[in-house]
Amino acid sequence: MLQPEYSLLTRTDLEMTAVDGGVDSLESCIQVRSPENPGYYWGNYLLLPEPPEADQLESWIDLFRDRFQSSREVEHVLLRWDGAVLAPQAQARARALGMTEDSGPGMIATQLIDSQLLDPGNQHVEIRPLDFEGEFDRIEQLNQQCDPNESSGSPQYRLFKERMRQSWRKRVRAGMATWWGAFLDEQLVGQCGMVFCSDRLARYQAVETHPDYRRRGVCSTLISTVGQDALGRGGCRALLLGVDGEGPALGLYRRLGFKTDTHQRALLLGGDSMVVRQEVAADHAEVRSLVQAAFEGVEEVQLIDQMRDQPGVLSLVAVRAGSILGHALFTPVTSADAGSNFQPAVALGPIAVRPSQQRQGCGSSLIRDGLDRCREQGIGAAFVLGDPEYYSRFGWRPAQLRQLHCQWPLASDAFQVLELREGGLDGWQGKVNYAAAFDRF
């Protein structure tokens, strides 16, 4: 069943799915099914031996639908493979068909750095195995606290998460996995599973830390302690994990001794639609990582950290299938020259989209949703500093046509305004002042 060209991480994927699903070798690929969780993209897919060619995509889509036609709850199409990126022609064809790309590095470690060397102040974190059945309520509660999308998401997403936790239970009951917790003063603040696979391979699952206890060394202590136990007492030869290549955890894993072994790649068609919602505290780490990757720097990250909790600020995220794809910030602006009866106004920016998700409509969704929320809040106008060709499609026009300017003289052509309500710009004149935090730019 297992093909030598598949990565070690993908081999463990197949073993894990086989516990509560199905793995079937076909003539041209492998079909992976999770009947008890049909909404799980990475549990219901065709595993291809290589990246699909442009002229093969529709045939692969047809094969997927044929093979999953008996599973009516499977509303998506997912094609997976290891290694190489899509050729440009295939990438263009996939987008024309409405498919979105997804990918993440598969990482491996044969020894780990002691977490105390990375976080000397984490000696108060206690790591111990959990009684999965006896402590399931704590495990479930922490998982929910770590995922703000579960409380705010669709019923389908909540059902997906419930079913995912049941798959953890089946692996523990089958003797394939153990569950570990990280404690501070007897409070469960972090957890992960360790799944033991064939060929002396061990695989991390569901590594997470409570949002209020992040950046305190909890995660590094958990990963290091559990991994060293698997390599030592467990007799494993290598530790594996899949990670979000644009998420905040990648750097931590590398510092602990993990190296990239492969890239798991996929094309997704259909499934859950993208949802825009207000950012919450549990999103902050992922937003920081996303914004830094999009702008290739930290100044925008620092700006958002400084502004997100200020009065009148609207901080939005775009989410699909539990992952944050983009972020947008709307902040109040003022003018000393404005008249006495002017309506409030905001400025859009920064706006950031994951590099892998750019030019696929995420930014547009954030902008349109944000403008609608501003209208509902009685905001009269929105300013933006950016590409006139792009922003004009939303109705923005040069601010200088209304005798308005900003604090950056060289940006006159890029400074634009959009009236959100009738008379929204009445009384506005002269210089438009951004919050002081923007002075760094």
Over residues 383-399, the pLDDT tens digits come to: 999 999 999 999 999 99
Q: For the domain with range 8-102, which CATH number is right: 3.40.50.2300, 3.40.50.720, 3.40.630.30, 3.40.50.300? A: 3.40.630.30
The two domains 111-236 and 275-440 share their CATH topology (first three levels equal) = yes
Residues 333-352: what's their mean pLDDT?
Answer: 86
Say what the pLDDT of residue 4 is. 47
Q: Work out the pLDDT band at 154, boundaries 50, 70, 90.
A: confident
Q: How many CB atoms within 10 Å of residue 23?
A: 17
Q: Does the global pTM surpass 0.85?
A: no
Contact 374, 382 (CB under 8 A): yes
Instruction: With a cut of 50, say whether residue 38 has pLDDT above it.
Output: yes
pLDDT tens digit sequence for 92-127: 999 999 998 889 999 999 999 887 766 666 668 999
**DSSP states along 59-102:** HHHHHHHHHTTT-TT--EEEEEEESSPPPHHHHHHHHHTT-EEE
Domain boundaries, given as residue ranges, for the chain? 8-102, 111-236, 275-440
User: 111-236, superfamily in CATH?
Assistant: Gcn5-related N-acetyltransferase (GNAT) (3.40.630.30)
**Percent of residues, the chain, with pLDDT higher than 70:** 97
Q: Which residues of 109-137 are buried (b: 16+ CB within 10 A; e: fewer)?
A: beebeebeeebeebeebebeebebeebbe
CATH topology (fold) of 275-440 = Aminopeptidase (3.40.630)
For residue 406, what are the CA distances in angstroms to 174, 238, 397, 411? 64, 56, 14, 8
